[in-house]
Amino acid sequence: MDTLPCLRPSVELTLDPDTANPRLILSLDLKSVRLGPRAQDLPSHPNRFDTNTRVLASCGFSSGRHHWEVEVGSTDGWAFGVAKSVRLGPRAQDLPSHPNRFDTNTRVLASCGFSSAFGVARESVRRKGLTPFTPEEGVWALQLNGGQYWAVTSPERTPLSCGHLSRVRVALDLEVGAVSFYAVEDMRHLFTFRVNFQERVFPLFSVCSTGTFLRIWP
Protein backbone atom coordinates (compact mmCIF):
# COMPACT_ATOMS: atom_id res chain seq x y z
CA MET A 1 0.00 0.00 0.00
CA ASP A 2 1.29 3.45 -0.90
CA THR A 3 2.06 5.78 2.00
CA LEU A 4 1.29 9.47 1.92
CA PRO A 5 4.37 11.28 0.59
CA CYS A 6 5.86 14.37 2.18
CA LEU A 7 4.19 17.17 0.25
CA ARG A 8 4.21 20.94 0.21
CA PRO A 9 1.23 22.64 1.89
CA SER A 10 -1.95 22.26 -0.13
CA VAL A 11 -2.06 24.57 -3.13
CA GLU A 12 -4.69 27.30 -3.42
CA LEU A 13 -6.64 26.24 -6.49
CA THR A 14 -9.45 27.91 -8.39
CA LEU A 15 -11.32 26.77 -11.48
CA ASP A 16 -10.53 28.27 -14.87
CA PRO A 17 -13.75 29.63 -16.46
CA ASP A 18 -12.16 29.66 -19.91
CA THR A 19 -11.92 25.85 -19.85
CA ALA A 20 -15.41 25.13 -18.45
CA ASN A 21 -17.97 23.35 -20.61
CA PRO A 22 -21.01 25.64 -21.17
CA ARG A 23 -23.25 23.34 -19.11
CA LEU A 24 -21.06 23.67 -16.03
CA ILE A 25 -21.94 26.32 -13.46
CA LEU A 26 -19.02 27.63 -11.41
CA SER A 27 -19.41 29.31 -8.03
CA LEU A 28 -18.47 32.97 -7.65
CA ASP A 29 -15.32 32.03 -5.74
CA LEU A 30 -14.40 29.57 -8.54
CA LYS A 31 -14.13 26.76 -6.00
CA SER A 32 -17.11 24.56 -6.86
CA VAL A 33 -18.77 23.24 -10.00
CA ARG A 34 -22.15 21.70 -10.76
CA LEU A 35 -24.06 20.73 -13.89
CA GLY A 36 -26.73 23.15 -15.07
CA PRO A 37 -29.98 22.21 -16.85
CA ARG A 38 -28.83 23.63 -20.17
CA ALA A 39 -25.80 25.11 -21.90
CA GLN A 40 -24.96 28.71 -21.12
CA ASP A 41 -24.20 31.25 -23.83
CA LEU A 42 -20.45 31.53 -23.27
CA PRO A 43 -17.84 33.03 -25.59
CA SER A 44 -15.87 30.62 -27.73
CA HIS A 45 -12.41 29.85 -26.37
CA PRO A 46 -9.69 27.48 -27.64
CA ASN A 47 -9.24 26.08 -24.13
CA ARG A 48 -12.93 25.38 -23.50
CA PHE A 49 -14.30 21.82 -23.38
CA ASP A 50 -17.16 22.05 -25.85
CA THR A 51 -18.63 18.54 -25.44
CA ASN A 52 -17.26 16.79 -22.35
CA THR A 53 -18.56 18.43 -19.15
CA ARG A 54 -15.12 19.16 -17.73
CA VAL A 55 -13.22 22.09 -16.27
CA LEU A 56 -9.55 22.51 -15.37
CA ALA A 57 -7.98 24.45 -12.52
CA SER A 58 -6.30 27.72 -13.41
CA CYS A 59 -2.95 26.50 -12.05
CA GLY A 60 -0.90 23.74 -13.67
CA PHE A 61 2.24 21.94 -12.50
CA SER A 62 5.41 20.77 -14.24
CA SER A 63 7.58 19.88 -11.22
CA GLY A 64 7.45 19.27 -7.49
CA ARG A 65 4.94 17.65 -5.17
CA HIS A 66 1.48 19.12 -4.64
CA HIS A 67 -1.85 18.17 -3.11
CA TRP A 68 -5.41 19.45 -2.89
CA GLU A 69 -8.70 18.12 -1.57
CA VAL A 70 -12.03 17.64 -3.32
CA GLU A 71 -15.41 17.64 -1.60
CA VAL A 72 -17.82 15.32 -3.41
CA GLY A 73 -21.54 16.08 -3.30
CA SER A 74 -24.15 13.37 -2.84
CA THR A 75 -25.33 11.48 -5.92
CA ASP A 76 -28.83 11.79 -7.34
CA GLY A 77 -29.96 8.16 -7.35
CA TRP A 78 -28.57 7.00 -10.68
CA ALA A 79 -28.85 3.26 -11.22
CA PHE A 80 -25.12 2.48 -10.96
CA GLY A 81 -24.44 5.92 -12.40
CA VAL A 82 -25.33 5.03 -15.98
CA ALA A 83 -29.10 5.37 -16.28
CA LYS A 84 -31.60 7.93 -15.05
CA SER A 85 -35.40 8.10 -15.38
CA VAL A 86 -37.01 10.74 -17.60
CA ARG A 87 -40.60 11.93 -18.12
CA LEU A 88 -42.82 9.65 -20.21
CA GLY A 89 -44.72 11.51 -22.91
CA PRO A 90 -48.31 10.78 -24.06
CA ARG A 91 -47.19 9.32 -27.38
CA ALA A 92 -44.07 8.29 -29.30
CA GLN A 93 -42.10 11.03 -31.01
CA ASP A 94 -41.02 10.78 -34.63
CA LEU A 95 -37.27 10.22 -34.06
CA PRO A 96 -34.69 8.99 -36.57
CA SER A 97 -33.61 5.36 -36.39
CA HIS A 98 -30.36 4.78 -34.49
CA PRO A 99 -28.50 1.55 -33.61
CA ASN A 100 -28.15 2.69 -29.98
CA ARG A 101 -31.82 3.64 -29.51
CA PHE A 102 -34.12 1.57 -27.24
CA ASP A 103 -37.03 0.75 -29.58
CA THR A 104 -39.33 -1.06 -27.11
CA ASN A 105 -38.21 -0.40 -23.52
CA THR A 106 -38.73 3.21 -22.38
CA ARG A 107 -35.12 3.83 -21.40
CA VAL A 108 -32.31 6.29 -22.02
CA LEU A 109 -28.65 6.14 -21.08
CA ALA A 110 -26.48 8.99 -19.85
CA SER A 111 -23.84 10.23 -22.26
CA CYS A 112 -20.87 9.92 -19.90
CA GLY A 113 -21.83 7.02 -17.62
CA PHE A 114 -20.77 8.60 -14.29
CA SER A 115 -21.97 11.35 -11.98
CA SER A 116 -18.62 13.03 -11.25
CA ALA A 117 -14.88 12.58 -11.66
CA PHE A 118 -11.70 14.35 -10.60
CA GLY A 119 -7.95 13.96 -10.97
CA VAL A 120 -5.39 15.47 -13.32
CA ALA A 121 -5.09 15.99 -17.07
CA ARG A 122 -2.15 16.87 -19.27
CA GLU A 123 -2.15 20.36 -20.74
CA SER A 124 -2.64 19.04 -24.28
CA VAL A 125 -5.79 17.06 -23.41
CA ARG A 126 -8.31 17.45 -26.22
CA ARG A 127 -10.92 20.13 -25.54
CA LYS A 128 -13.10 19.77 -28.65
CA GLY A 129 -15.48 16.93 -29.38
CA LEU A 130 -16.44 13.89 -27.32
CA THR A 131 -13.29 12.21 -25.99
CA PRO A 132 -12.91 9.16 -23.72
CA PHE A 133 -11.97 9.40 -20.06
CA THR A 134 -8.75 7.34 -20.21
CA PRO A 135 -5.04 7.60 -19.39
CA GLU A 136 -4.33 7.32 -23.13
CA GLU A 137 -6.19 10.61 -23.55
CA GLY A 138 -4.07 12.21 -20.83
CA VAL A 139 -6.55 11.88 -17.95
CA TRP A 140 -5.76 10.17 -14.61
CA ALA A 141 -8.80 10.28 -12.38
CA LEU A 142 -11.34 8.66 -10.10
CA GLN A 143 -14.97 8.42 -11.16
CA LEU A 144 -17.99 8.26 -8.88
CA ASN A 145 -20.94 6.17 -10.09
CA GLY A 146 -23.89 6.21 -7.71
CA GLY A 147 -21.75 5.85 -4.59
CA GLN A 148 -19.15 3.51 -6.14
CA TYR A 149 -15.68 4.86 -6.89
CA TRP A 150 -13.65 3.62 -9.84
CA ALA A 151 -10.08 4.34 -10.91
CA VAL A 152 -10.12 5.16 -14.60
CA THR A 153 -7.59 2.58 -15.70
CA SER A 154 -7.32 1.08 -19.18
CA PRO A 155 -8.63 -1.01 -20.84
CA GLU A 156 -11.05 -1.59 -17.94
CA ARG A 157 -11.82 0.60 -14.94
CA THR A 158 -10.74 -0.61 -11.49
CA PRO A 159 -13.46 -0.71 -8.78
CA LEU A 160 -12.45 0.66 -5.38
CA SER A 161 -13.80 -0.77 -2.12
CA CYS A 162 -14.34 2.46 -0.24
CA GLY A 163 -18.01 3.43 -0.51
CA HIS A 164 -18.97 7.09 -0.70
CA LEU A 165 -16.37 9.57 0.56
CA SER A 166 -17.18 13.16 1.40
CA ARG A 167 -13.64 14.40 0.70
CA VAL A 168 -10.71 12.98 -1.21
CA ARG A 169 -7.10 14.19 -1.26
CA VAL A 170 -5.32 14.23 -4.62
CA ALA A 171 -1.53 14.00 -4.28
CA LEU A 172 0.53 14.80 -7.37
CA ASP A 173 4.21 13.83 -7.30
CA LEU A 174 5.93 14.92 -10.49
CA GLU A 175 9.35 13.89 -9.19
CA VAL A 176 8.53 10.16 -9.13
CA GLY A 177 5.65 10.26 -11.63
CA ALA A 178 2.56 9.47 -9.58
CA VAL A 179 -0.91 10.78 -8.82
CA SER A 180 -2.48 9.26 -5.71
CA PHE A 181 -5.87 9.50 -4.02
CA TYR A 182 -6.58 9.28 -0.27
CA ALA A 183 -9.71 9.30 1.88
CA VAL A 184 -9.34 12.50 3.92
CA GLU A 185 -11.15 11.15 7.00
CA ASP A 186 -8.38 8.64 7.79
CA MET A 187 -5.82 9.25 4.99
CA ARG A 188 -6.47 5.75 3.69
CA HIS A 189 -4.80 5.11 0.34
CA LEU A 190 -7.33 4.55 -2.45
CA PHE A 191 -5.34 4.31 -5.68
CA THR A 192 -2.13 5.45 -7.38
CA PHE A 193 -1.49 6.00 -11.08
CA ARG A 194 2.14 5.66 -12.19
CA VAL A 195 2.73 8.15 -14.98
CA ASN A 196 5.71 9.25 -17.05
CA PHE A 197 4.69 12.90 -17.20
CA GLN A 198 5.96 14.63 -20.34
CA GLU A 199 4.24 18.00 -19.97
CA ARG A 200 2.46 20.26 -17.53
CA VAL A 201 -0.63 18.79 -15.86
CA PHE A 202 -3.72 20.47 -14.43
CA PRO A 203 -6.26 19.45 -11.80
CA LEU A 204 -9.37 18.21 -13.61
CA PHE A 205 -13.02 18.16 -12.53
CA SER A 206 -16.02 16.68 -14.33
CA VAL A 207 -19.71 16.64 -13.38
CA CYS A 208 -22.29 14.74 -15.43
CA SER A 209 -25.29 14.79 -13.06
CA THR A 210 -27.42 17.69 -11.85
CA GLY A 211 -27.74 15.99 -8.47
CA THR A 212 -24.14 16.39 -7.36
CA PHE A 213 -21.24 18.85 -7.25
CA LEU A 214 -17.48 19.03 -6.73
CA ARG A 215 -15.75 21.60 -4.54
CA ILE A 216 -12.07 22.37 -4.02
CA TRP A 217 -11.38 22.34 -0.30
CA PRO A 218 -11.07 24.61 1.58
Could you read off the pLDDT of 96-132 as tens digits, one per residue?
765 545 565 544 444 455 688 999 999 999 999 999 8
Report the candidate in 110, 108, 139 with the shortest Cα–Cα distance to residue 202.
139
E strand spans, the chain: 24-26, 32-35, 54-56, 65-72, 116-122, 139-145, 148-151, 158-159, 167-173, 178-183, 188-194, 201-207, 213-217
Q: Which amino acid is at 44?
A: S
Task: Give the strand order in the sheet containing 116-122.
Answer: 54-56, 201-207, 116-122, 139-145, 148-151, 158-159
One pLDDT digit (tens) per residue for the chain, 218 residues: 455 555 555 678 999 999 999 999 999 999 999 999 999 999 999 999 999 999 999 999 999 999 999 998 865 422 222 223 345 566 777 777 655 455 655 444 444 556 889 999 999 999 999 998 899 999 999 998 867 889 999 999 999 988 778 899 999 999 999 999 999 999 999 999 999 999 999 999 999 888 889 999 87
Q: What one-character DSSP code corresponds to residue 137?
A: G
pTM: 0.80
Q: Is the peptide bond before 218 cis (omega within 30 degrees of 0)?
A: yes
pLDDT at 73: 83
Residues 184, 124: Cα–Cα separation, whole Å: 30
Q: What is the pLDDT of residues 182-197, one digit of tens each?
A: 999 999 999 999 999 9
pLDDT at 79: 23
- CA angle (98, 99, 103) in 5-degree steps: 75
- How many residues make up the chain in this entry? 218
pLDDT at 94: 76
pLDDT at 78: 28
pLDDT at 76: 44
**Distance between start and end Cα atoms, the chain:** 27
pLDDT at 110: 44
